[in-house]
Amino acid sequence: AQSVAQPEDQVNVAEGNPLTVKCTYSVSGNPYLFWYVQYPNRGLQFLLKYITGDNLVKGSYGFEAEFNKSQTSFHLKKPSALVSDSALYFCAVRGSSGGSYIPTFGRGTSLIVHP
Amino acid sequence: DAGVIQSPRHEVTEMGQEVTLRCKPISGHNSLFWYRQTMMRGLELLIYFNNNVPIDDSGMPEDRFSAKMPNASFSTLKIQPSEPRDSAVYFCASTLTGGTEAFFGQGTRLTVV
């Protein structure tokens, strides 16, 4: 069975500092990995994905994520945090072969960026 | 495209009443998911449809929950009878089979009193 772990319930960072939100995964075969963001009273919005190719993927709003196959990790990063980045962030994984199209989500990490 | 559309956005009902949540997926998408979000359990998959057929309903909590997809542009999630522990935010998401990311609706916040 596939699974996602987001080890931190909350991450606090000062505005202008770099941020990292951690994610590790487990899946059979090659993974498809995703990050979503959820603002209060809103649905999940897609940020970025890793399918294949370059291990560093870039997404919306200046976010990027690094795929590390040996560590089965897909950490979300941003060089300089903004107060407006404060939100709930979800990592998700699904398999790449037939029959494994259902994405599994982590518990979410609340990012708080302080002015 | 307007994205995934869910209705209603908010629903408050009394215990024992029937509740129906509605979802219109993105046109052309043939996979649809219903998820439930709570503080305690996070985001849980309830059911997955592909080409209007339920493929995986192992996440449906019990017989009080049922879901249908009568055509490619509409799905419902019904709870009958509703209980206070069903209070949660229910999300619908759609994607193309074999495609990659899923697109989420705004959710329905259900409160059962």
* Cβ–Cβ < 8 Å for B97, B30: yes
At a CB cut-off of 8 Å and minimum separation 6, what does A19 contact?
A11, A13, A77, A78, A81, A85, A111, A113
For the segment B65-77, the average pLDDT, to the nearest whole number, is 97
> For B91, which of A43, A46, A101 is closest by C-beta distance?
A43
Q: In this predicted structure, what is the pLDDT of residue B107?
A: 96
Q: What distance in Å separates the CA atoms of residue B23 and residue B32, rounded to the nearest whole number?
A: 9
Hey, are the CB atoms on B101 and A51 less than 8 Å from each other?
no
In the 3-class helix/strand/coil scheme, how is chain B assigned residue by residue? CCCCEEECCEEEECCCCCEEEEEECCCCCCEEEEEEEECCCEEEEEEEEECCEEEECCCCCCCCEEEEEEECCEEEEEECCCCHHHCEEEEEEEECCCCCCCEECCCEEEEEC
The pLDDT of residue A49 = 95
Considering chain B, what is the average pLDDT of its residues? Answer: 94
Q: How far is CA B75 from CA A71, B29, B37, in A?
A: 39, 13, 18
The answer to whether B69 and B52 have CB atoms below 8 angstroms apart is yes
pLDDT of residue A98: 61
pLDDT for the residue numbered B53: 94
Cα separation of B62 and B70, whole Å?
Answer: 21
pLDDT over threshold 80, residue B98? no
> Which pLDDT band holds residue B1 (cuts at 50, 70, 90)?
low
State pLDDT tens for residues A39-86: 988 899 999 999 988 999 999 999 999 999 999 999 999 999 999 999
Of A12, A7, A40, nearest in space to A25 by CA: A7
Is A104 in Cβ contact with B45 (below 8 Å)? Answer: yes
Residue that is written with structure tokens 């998820």 in the block = B35
Task: Kindly list the residues from chain B whose CB atom is less than 8 angstroms away from the CB atom of residue A51.
Answer: 100
From A88, which residue of chain B is nearest by alpha-carbon distance?
A: B42
Q: Is A43 within 8 Å of B31 when comparing Cβ atoms?
A: no
Alpha-carbon Rg of chain B, whole angstroms?
Answer: 13
Q: Which two tokens stand for residue B16?
A: 């024992």
- Considering chain B, what percentage of its residues have pLDDT values greater than 70? 99
A28-32, A43-47, A104-108: least confident range: A28-32
Residues in A closer than 8 angstroms to B98, CB to CB, are: 101
Query: What DSSP line would sit under A81-110, residue for residue?
Result: --GGG-EEEEEEEEESSTT----EE---EE
Mean pLDDT calculated for residue range B8-26: 97
**Residue whose pair of structure tokens reads 């772990």 in the numeric block:** A5
